[in-house]
Chain A
């Protein structure tokens, strides 16, 4: 008996003690699996280059045009352009799916920001195309590889003007300009955050317009904005995760997910590092921790990016139907409290927000974007860009999104989205005439326009995947596991502890509890009354 008692005592005491006083593990052993795996996968960033481009003879010639610079690059990197020509960065078209619709900025795709590039006829869009001087004939290698800010267009023009002079002084100026050009050409490297950011931070026509998790604050972020890119942290360039094969940069291309299988570098050491799991594995937290059980249904980003646009504001709403108003006969802008335009005559009304809580949805990595060829239902908000995947899709996870709402023109007769021409002499920004801008835009795309247009409400989603916050700022369990306005309040079809109640059990359950309580209270009161009346009888009887 005594032995049994001791055994029982020790079992229970052990279990009690071990959770009341969790032993702090020894330093070093404390690191979560996912963190140590990632550290191993990204060890020592040293300069691995075996080449100093400032010493290459090919880059010491007098450059008179961008095309000459490209030829110089290709004289060594012989396959580069052939590779690059095939990429979405050059073509602005996603691989075709046989539907007859061309997905991509250079195709039929539309969004609800600047709406369309009209088959690249909207010249303003070409400011991001990696060709020389907004032209589509030769690639500008320096768009992505140049490490020096230099205006080559001006440089070549000035050089051309001065070098043809007979004046000695002007020729000297020309020589200086040529030196600057060569310096800029020789300063090439793998793309840095600034190279990618030049376009991707400013998508939609301005800083932070499109993504919400990509803006100029990521050029030199601190750790609290992004644990990986932070200059005081890992100092990752974009290409650290967006790994590149033959100039194809890893990442989502419209309906094609960034990664089709979830492989870590342990499964395949040549896999792209585009997913969190590539480096951190599918069970990145310390053994036995609950978050490890979530990775099959919840994307890492859902917890690790509590809010986006944490430094610069992002555009959340863009109403094109308000564009075209004049003040004293002139176009005007209104600057809002966040220092951003809340109204522009050429663009309409917009709403900017900072520190935005994402919205959550099941997502398998594909985004379906509408084209000018899709028939829409104008009676309700049109999902111009929407995430694919649902709870039954094994590849889908609950993922955070920025949802950009807006109003944009559509064809009232044909029920299709219209792509106006915006920039240029004939564009809306110059004429402020919707009808002509829409006609011109649709004519450039060789697609019909009935002539009758209205504005539809629309939504466009952007997956939130950058701006990964430090561990101490992650979304707390209770922000989703709550019945009161939790982050996942709008997701249904599954039972979530803390959020969901099963009323057929809860209501009778509470009735039972309250009934028991009332029962014992009544019983106790009965005993109290009968007891005191008995005592009274006794005291009366006594004398």
Chain B
């Protein structure tokens, strides 16, 4: 029944490292952030604050490297949003997946993300994370607001935006982790993010517009 599958090297070493580092940072930031918000007692309030601040700054530095990587490698094109095939993808997750239909948007080296992913990751990297970083830095430098002329800011507003971002991230995390189970097998996607090799159906045609570089490619695997 299943079409023949083949393996392609989809995620480079840096991408995989960045992915898991970012995961660790976000989980640590969430765990400490929610403790600071008064939800539970895990590390203790004071250690939580220290870890949160340090991790936040660490993430900022690592994120700068990621942005540099995005633009030097041209990988930013993978995140250009598109509405084409968006409906098909939505239909697939809402319906086709239950019927065992194939994914309407197979992964390829030059088209790693489906339209839904592109939109999600773009909003994440270009909006949500920068907002978290900006509000985080403002929160962190609260004491120098006066000397920097930021007196018009309100800590409550900054904190509220930072919390709203946190909720959005938790929600993303839940759905993202769940989506990893929708591959060929439950752990197929996770495995590929570890090894870099993704299993895909053979012989599925990729249209030119789907490719990140927008130009025809050689046959996959070469």
Contacts and interface: CB of A to CB of B under 8 A. Distances in A.
Interface of A: 1, 4-5, 7-9, 11-12, 15-16, 18-19, 290, 293, 296, 476-478, 481-483, 494-495, 497-502, 504-506, 508-510, 512-513, 515-517, 519-520, 523-524, 526-527, 530-531, 534
Contact of A520 (B45, B160, B167, B178): B178
Contacts, number: 125
A534 B100 contact: yes
Interface in B66-108: 66, 68-69, 72-73, 93, 97-100
Interface string B12-40: 11100110010000000000000011100
A520 B37 contact: no
B154 interface: yes
A290 B159 CA distance: 17
Given A19-B54, A497-B37, A502-B159, A512 B61 contact: no
A516 B54 contact: no
B97 A498 contact: no
B156 A513 contact: no
Q: Which of B68, B73, B160 has most A Cβ within 10 Å? A: B160
Interface stretch (B124-132, B168-176, B193-201, B205-213): B168-176
Contact of A513 (B55, B65, B160, B174): B174
The 6 closest A-B pairs by CB, nearest first: A509-B167, A15-B58, A520-B178, A478-B45, A495-B156, A19-B54
B219 to A, nearest CB: 23
A286 B41 CA distance: 25
B185 to A, nearest CB: 12
B202 interface: no
Contacts of B166: 509
B45 A8 contact: no
15 contacts: A4-B72, A8-B65, A9-B17, A15-B57, A15-B58, A478-B41, A498-B45, A505-B164, A509-B164, A512-B170, A519-B175, A520-B174, A520-B175, A527-B98, A530-B98
A208 B149 CA distance: 47
B119 interface: no
B178 A523 contact: yes
B171 A11 contact: no
* Interface footprint category on B: 35 or more
A478 B36 CA distance: 9
B2 interface: no
Contact of B17 (A5, A478, A530): A5
A15 B167 contact: no
A3 to B, nearest CB: 10
B14 A4 contact: yes
Given A12-B62, A481-B45, A524-B178, A512 B171 contact: yes
Nearest to A479: B45
A478 B48 CA distance: 11
A502 B171 contact: no
A534 B97 CA distance: 12
B51 interface: yes
Contacts of B97: 527
A11 B175 contact: no
